[in-house]
């Protein structure tokens, strides 16, 4: 069945609730664990049905945000999802309080119980109106970003379509593109400030209603940080500051030399090579065909996976008007189908999406045996290991996508992994500061962000761009608005992915099996348990970051980037 034929039917909430409560009564009164287990499975089947409809609606709305039908459905789910979440909490309470709990733990993953406990800590019926309002604010931000119609060089462009111009060989074009982008955010500055100000104060209010000191505490519970805390994250951030920031400054000097510039400004940072950034070969269709060939050569499992995705049209990859920005992977439970969404725009990011989001999708595909919604994907930081590692595991096939630009791509890809790390922990540090100070004005938030930029990214020079100099860069970072405290996950996963990269370079024969095993267990294990399963070092362990930076620097030094 093709994706277009996946039927969407809005559930009748009252009917779902009635059926759910009947099954819950049977579960609560089960005379033995066998009946309890069977009923638990029936409840999950009901839950998978409504989550599938919510996911289908979300995908189709993101593909075309101006489609009136799915715009209406998106509003419905913004309003109804908190009510469905309340049903989930009833299940969590029943399972946690079950007289058969010990027996249930034999077949229900431990992470389900941990996440159930966190869900109860993060929810109370009294905050349903607040959660509905939070969803509306998220949608307002997403719709505003998707609505961008930027006049540039005789074209009307979305933010995704404007992006290639920020990489243009002509320095003036790059600067103008960045100014046009900043002008969009500056034009909507008051509106975006207001959305975020409402978000911060609302989240702080929710946290206090639930008995937390601030939203930082609640944020860690919401993100299911099952086996680490803010202090451990702080240790990791310090490693990045010590071991990676100096390396990034060296890379900036190499880039300036490559480009023949005395000094790099903000609009130069994305333009890495005077001969142009690496570009994929061929049309989007040809790139997908190369991807299919690559995954068949990588392993039997990845070959079956990519055929499944292509045959069912489970990829929507090309940028177009009305489409949400960014990229993501999600999972439609009823059809056991991962789905990949992105905005191809003719840059190397097109291939990185095909490997990154395919890493997520491959994990979901290998975890189809899991019929508990909470455990299909692992927690966010763990999920990013699969995606970022896949980017490096597929390095041997990059010549199929980049031809003569392969070395250029590899240098760009590996160096960008380094330059991203300080930014990733900066976003995390910024959010900690924001939610520790919910009373801050918009101007104070921007000033705090700019101060942290100078610490983690001292090379950023915004001369000539008032909006960015005032600290407005984070306006484009959707995670800050939609998924607070998410962003550190990318950096934790990046260090794990770089360990896979090191093992691949060392030709470790166990590397692929460890990656495969990591994908198969899905979300049935916590982050540090997954790190252990994959035979990786914990990012929170002192010296972990330093253990990979030497190889990275050595690999980058071995590439003669001045000739690229």
Q: What is the pLDDT along the chain (564 residues), one digit of tens a residue?
A: 999 999 999 999 999 999 999 999 999 999 999 999 999 999 999 999 999 999 999 999 999 999 999 999 999 998 999 899 889 999 999 999 999 999 999 999 999 999 999 999 999 989 999 999 999 999 999 999 999 999 999 999 999 899 989 989 999 999 999 999 999 999 999 999 999 999 999 999 999 999 999 999 999 999 999 999 989 999 999 999 999 999 999 999 999 999 999 999 999 999 988 888 888 999 999 999 999 999 999 999 999 999 999 999 999 999 889 999 888 999 999 999 999 999 998 888 899 889 999 999 999 999 999 999 999 999 989 999 999 999 999 999 999 999 999 999 999 999 999 999 999 999 999 999 999 999 999 999 999 999 999 999 999 999 999 999 999 999 999 999 999 999 999 999 999 999 999 999 999 999 999 999 999 999 999 999 999 999 999 999 999 999 999 999 999 999 999 888
Could you give the 3-state DSSP secondary structure of residue 388? helix
Task: Classify residue 27: in a domain, yes or no.
Answer: yes
User: What's the distance, CA 410 to chain centroid?
Assistant: 22
Sequence-separated (6 or more) residues with CB below 8 Å from residue 4: 313
CA 196 vs. chain centroid, Å, equals: 19
Domain with 101, as residue range(s), is 3-108
Under DSSP, the state recorded for 282 is S
How far apart (Å, rounded) are the C-alpha atoms in residues 301 and 306? 9
Q: Are 166 and 272 in contact (CB under 8 A)?
A: no
| Full-model pTM | 0.85
Residue 86 in any domain: the answer is yes
- Say if 66 falls within a structural domain: yes
Q: What distance in Å separates the CA atoms of residue 417 and residue 409, rounded to the nearest whole number?
A: 12
Total structural domains in the chain? 1
Angle at 323 between CA 317 and CA 324, to 5 degrees: 95
Cα distance between residue 368 and residue 370, in whole Å: 5
* 444 assigned to some structural domain: no
Handedness of CA 459, 464, 469, 473 (dihedral sign): negative
Give domain status of residue 202, yes or no.
Answer: no
Residue 51 lies in a domain: yes
CA distance linking residue 493 with residue 539, whole number of Å: 9
* Domain-embedded: residue 291: no
Token representation of residue 548: 């990979």
Residue 446 within a domain: no
Q: Are 392 and 501 in contact (CB under 8 A)?
A: yes
Tokens for 428, please give them: 């995390």
Residues 556 and 267: their CA atoms lie apart, in Å, by 23
């Amino acid at each position: 069945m093709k994706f277009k034929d996946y039927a969407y039917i809005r559930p009748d909430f009252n009917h779902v609730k009635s059926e759910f409560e009947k099954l819950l009564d049977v579960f609560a009164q089960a005379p033995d664990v066998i009946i309890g287990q069977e009923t638990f499975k029936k409840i999950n089947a009901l839950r998978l049905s409504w989550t599938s409809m919510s996911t289908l609606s979300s995908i189709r709305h993101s593909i075309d945000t101006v489609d009136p039908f799915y715009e209406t459905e998106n509003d419905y789910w913004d309003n109804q999802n908190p009510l469905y979440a309340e049903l989930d909490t009833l299940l969590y309470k029943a399972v946690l309080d079950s007289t058969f709990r010990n027996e249930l733990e034999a077949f229900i993953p431990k992470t389900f119980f941990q996440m159930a406990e966190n869900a109860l800590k993060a929810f109370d019926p009294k905050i349903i109106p607040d959660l509905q309002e939070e969803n509306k604010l998220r949608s307002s931000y997403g719709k505003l970003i998707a609505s961008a119609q930027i006049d540039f060089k005789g074209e009307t462009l979305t933010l995704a379509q404007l992006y290639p111009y920020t990489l243009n060989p002509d320095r003036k074009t790059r600067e103008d593109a960045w100014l046009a982008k900043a002008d969009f955010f500056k034009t909507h500055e008051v509106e975006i400030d207001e959305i975020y100000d409402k978000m911060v104060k609302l989240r702080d209010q929710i946290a206090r209603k639930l008995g937390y000191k601030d939203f930082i505490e609640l944020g860690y519970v919401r993100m299911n940080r099952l086996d680490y805390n803010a202090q451990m994250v702080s240790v990791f951030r310090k490693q990045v500051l010590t071991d990676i920031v100096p390396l990034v400054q060296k890379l900036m000097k190499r880039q300036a030399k490559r480009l023949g510039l005395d000094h790099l400004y903000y609009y130069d940072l994305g333009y890495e090579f005077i001969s142009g950034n690496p570009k994929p070969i061929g049309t989007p269709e040809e790139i997908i065909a190369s991807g299919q060939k690559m995954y068949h050569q990588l392993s039997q499992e990845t070959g079956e996976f990519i055929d499944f995705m292509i045959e069912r049209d489970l990829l929507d990859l090309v940028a177009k008007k009305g489409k949400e920005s960014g990229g993501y992977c999600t999972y439609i439970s009823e059809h056991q189908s991962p789905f990949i969404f992105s905005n191809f725009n003719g840059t190397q990011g097109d291939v990185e999406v095909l490997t990154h989001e395919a890493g997520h999708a491959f994990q979901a595909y290998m975890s189809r045996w899991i019929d508990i919604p909470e455990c299909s994907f692992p927690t966010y930081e763990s999920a990013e290991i699969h995606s970022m590692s896949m980017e490096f595991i597929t390095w041997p096939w990059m010549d199929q996508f980049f031809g003569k630009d392969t070395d250029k791509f590899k240098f760009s890809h590996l160096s960008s992994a380094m330059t991203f790390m300080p930014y990733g922990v900066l976003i995390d540090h910024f959010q900690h500061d924001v939610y520790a100070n919910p009373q801050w004005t918009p101007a104070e938030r921007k000033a705090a962000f700019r101060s942290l930029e100078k610490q983690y990214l001292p090379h950023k020079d915004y001369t000539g761009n008032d909006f960015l100099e005032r600290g407005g860069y984070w306006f484009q970072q959707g995670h800050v608005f939609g998924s607070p405290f998410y962003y550190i996950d990318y950096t934790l996963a990046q260090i794990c992915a770089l360990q896979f990269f090191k093992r691949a370079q060392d030709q470790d024969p166990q590397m692929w099996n460890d990656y495969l095993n990591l994908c198969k267990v899905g979300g049935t294990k916590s982050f540090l348990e997954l790190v252990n399963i994959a035979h990786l070092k914990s990012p929170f362990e002192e010296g972990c970051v330093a253990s990979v930076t030497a190889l990275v620097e050595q690999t980058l030094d071995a590439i003669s980037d001045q000739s690229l």
